[in-house]
Amino acid sequence: MKSKVYCGFALLFVCAGFASASVKSDIDRQYKRWGKAALVNDVDTILNVLTPDYTLHTYTGTVIPRVKYEASLRKRKAENKPATVYETSMASISVTGDVAKVISDETSNNMSVDPITNKKLKLIHIHRYLDTWVRTKGVWRLQTTITQVESTKVVPV
């Protein structure tokens, strides 16, 4: 009887591992969709990744609701502003039912010139977020982004 209980627990842990891997893969695809859409100012695709009640919490504590975030995206597109190229990676994920909490790192690299030495510099800008994803009708959508860390590294080239 004990071996059946142990096998049941082992099977539960293995299945939970597969579920988490599948969720991580699904959410990673959503991050990639967003990143590709951001490069070409594809506002509709970005908004499709978000829930209707999405909120962005900036590092300074400002809360930006989806309607204002959408307005900023549409303004950027209308002004044909170049997008920032960045890469998002997941540092960790915790899944409970249809809610996933993800610690994500968004990294962008830009070139600049030191105004004093006139030498080229590489600026590595990093945001660390706590993202809350919810699964609605089988699709993971981003509900909340809370900026936890914002930093810039300056590297001589």
The domains of the chain are located at 2-156
Q: What is the spatial distance between Cα 31 and Cα 91, in angstroms, rounded to a whole number?
A: 13
Domain 2-156 has CATH 3.30.1330.60: no
Model pLDDT for residues 107-133, shown as the tens digit of each residue = 999 899 989 999 999 999 999 999 999
Burial annotation 80-104 (CB, 10 A radius, 16+ → b, else e): eeeeeebebeeeebebeeeebebeb
Q: Could you give the CA distance from residue 55 to residue 14 in angstroms, rounded to a whole number?
A: 34
pLDDT digits (tens, 9 = 90+) for 3-26: 444 444 343 343 344 457 899 999
pLDDT in tens, 31-67: 999 999 999 999 999 999 999 999 999 999 999 999 9
**For residues 124 and 152, is the Cβ–Cβ distance under 8 A?**
yes
